[in-house]
Amino acid sequence: MSDEGFSFRWGIPVLDEGVVTVPNYFFDYYHRAGIQREEFLLILHLARYHYETPAGEARPSLTTVAKQMGYSKRTILRKLERLELGGMLRIERRPGKPSVYDVQPFSERMENLLRADRSGDVAESPVTPTAPLPVTSASPPTSDKAVSPKEENRKNKRRKRNGTHQQVSNERFITGKYADEIEH
């Protein structure tokens, strides 16, 4: 990159006020390690705070991170737990002080996947994670089709009138599809 700063690429001077440098291969390999997009974004948010403290520790307010990401603090805590259990993040919990978040395990995993991919090492195959991240919530699949709450109410009333409500609810839970998308 040139000496002009980050705004040189995007043409917006305010962009030089803060930049997190992320290696391109992180974008290429995070999903191969079993990390979801939202978790990857959370890792990037944590990395953002890494150098903003005297000791170079990432210890942001989770309330702030949740607000920046558009999630509740509880959701952020669940994502942190999944990353920690999956070995992608270390958390140093400090009573009475903000926790410290270390994303180094994630960085090392990405580097291992890159090296394995370049060397053709099957033992460290990037296609399947060596230690899949645990699932921390069981939610039914959702449909790709967005339906407003009002429309969902109308559909439920029609199903109840037709006596297909329970059958549809069970099928929807299993398949994630709405009644009009299911062939009977």
Axis-axis angle for helices 165-175, 149-162 (nearest 10) = 130
Average pLDDT value for residue range 116-133:
60
CB 126 within 8 A of CB 141: no
The pLDDT assigned to 109 comes to 94
CATH class of 7-119: mainly alpha
Does residue 155 register a pLDDT over 80? no
Does residue 78 register a pLDDT over 80? yes
Average pLDDT value for residue range 83-112:
93
Q: Which residue has the higher pLDDT, 115 or 171?
A: 115
Does residue 120 register a pLDDT over 50? yes
Locate the domains of the chain by residue range.
7-119, 149-181
Global pTM? Answer: 0.60
User: How is residue 101 written in tokens?
Assistant: 């978040």
User: How is residue 65 written in tokens?
Assistant: 């991170």
Convert the pLDDT of each residue in 4-20 to its tens digit.
666 666 677 776 677 77
Residue 32: which of 105, 119, 139, 109 has the closest Cα? 109
| In the chain, % of residues over pLDDT 90 | 40
